[in-house]
Amino acid sequence: MRLTGDELSVLNSNCSQVRAVQLGPERATQLKQGGVVQRCGSQFLDNVLPDVIGPASEPAQVRATAFLDPPKLGEQRCIIMFQAFDWGSHKAGPSQSRTERAFGSDRLPPPSDSVDDHGYLPRKWYVLDNNYGTAEELQHLIGSMHEQDIVPMLDVVVNHRCASLQDSAGRWLKFEEPDWEGWAVCCNSPAVPGGSGAHTTGEPAAYAPSVDHSNPRIRSDVNEYIRYLMDEIGFRALRFDFVKGYAPRFQTDYVKAAGEPFAVAENWNGDVNGLHDYVRECQGKMAVYDFPLYYVLKRCIHSNNFEELNCGGRLAGIAGRDPARSCTFIDNHDTYQLAIVGGCFGNNDQVLRAYALILTHPGTPCVFHWDYVRAPYVREKLLELCAVRRDANVHSTSQLHIHCAAHGLYAATIGGNVAIKIGTNDWSPGGGWKVGCFGAEFCVWTKG
Claim to verify: residue 238 and residue 172 sit in the same structural domain: yes
Query: 232 and 184 share a domain?
Result: yes
Q: Indicate if 234 and 353 belong to the same structural domain.
A: yes
Low-confidence ranges of the chain (pLDDT < 70): 1-19, 21, 23-24, 26-52, 60-64, 93-101
* Domain closes at, from 399, 418, 437: 399
Residues 102 and 38 occupy one common structural domain? no
Q: Each residue of 168-217: pLDDT tens digit? A: 999 999 999 999 999 999 999 999 999 999 999 999 999 999 999 999 99
d(CA 140, CA 132): 13
* Domains identified in the chain, total number: 2
In a domain, 426, yes or no: no
> Is-contact 109 118, C-beta < 8 A?
yes
pLDDT at 337: 87
Q: Which residues contact residue 28 at a Cβ distance below 8 angstroms, ignoring those fewer than 6 apart?
A: none
Q: Both 94 and 52 in a single domain?
A: no
Instruction: Clarify whether residues 181 and 129 are in a common domain.
Output: yes
3 state SS of 25: helix
Q: Could you give the CA distance from residue 327 to residue 320 in angstroms, rounded to a whole number?
A: 12
Confidence at residue 184, expressed as pLDDT on a 0 to 100 scale: 98
Rounded-to-5 percentages of helix, strand, coil across the chain: 35, 20, 45
As a whole number of angstroms, the distance between CA 37 and CA 127 comes to 9
State whether 267 and 134 are in the same domain: yes
Q: Cα separation of 180 and 15, whole Å?
A: 39
Residue 318 and residue 202 share a domain: yes
Sheet of 409-414, strands arranged across: 400-406, 409-414, 418-422, 442-447, 433-439
| CB 436 within 8 Å of CB 384 | yes
Statement to judge: residues 97 and 38 lie in one domain:
no
**Residue 4 backbone zone (phi > 0: left; psi -120 to 50: alpha; other: beta):** beta
Residue 91, phi then psi, degrees to nearest 5: -75, -25
How distant, in Å, are the alpha carbons of 202, 362, 366, 372 from that of 394?
36, 7, 14, 21
Strand partners, 400: 414
Q: Are residues 243 and 341 in the same domain?
A: yes
DSSP label at residue 17: -
CATH of the domain at 388: 3.20.20.80
Let me know if residue 168 belongs to a domain.
Answer: yes
Distance, in Å, from the CA atom of 334 to the CA atom of 75, rounded to the nearest integer, reads 28
Bridge partners of 81, per DSSP, are: 105, 366
Structural domain includes residue 118? yes
- Report field, pTM of the whole predicted structure over 0.85: yes
φ, ψ for residue 110, nearest 5 deg: -55, 135
Looking at the structure, do residues 295 and 251 belong to the same domain, yes or no? yes
**Exposed/middle/buried for residue 180 (C-beta within 10 Å: 0-12, 13-18, 19+):** buried
443 assigned to some structural domain: no
In a domain, 76, yes or no: no
- Residue 391, domain extent: 81-399
Say yes or no: 55 and 24 in one domain. yes
Q: Is 317 exposed, middle or buried (0-12, 13-18, 19+ CB in 10 A)?
A: buried
pLDDT digits (tens, 9 = 90+) for 281-330: 999 999 999 999 999 999 999 999 999 999 999 999 999 999 999 999 99
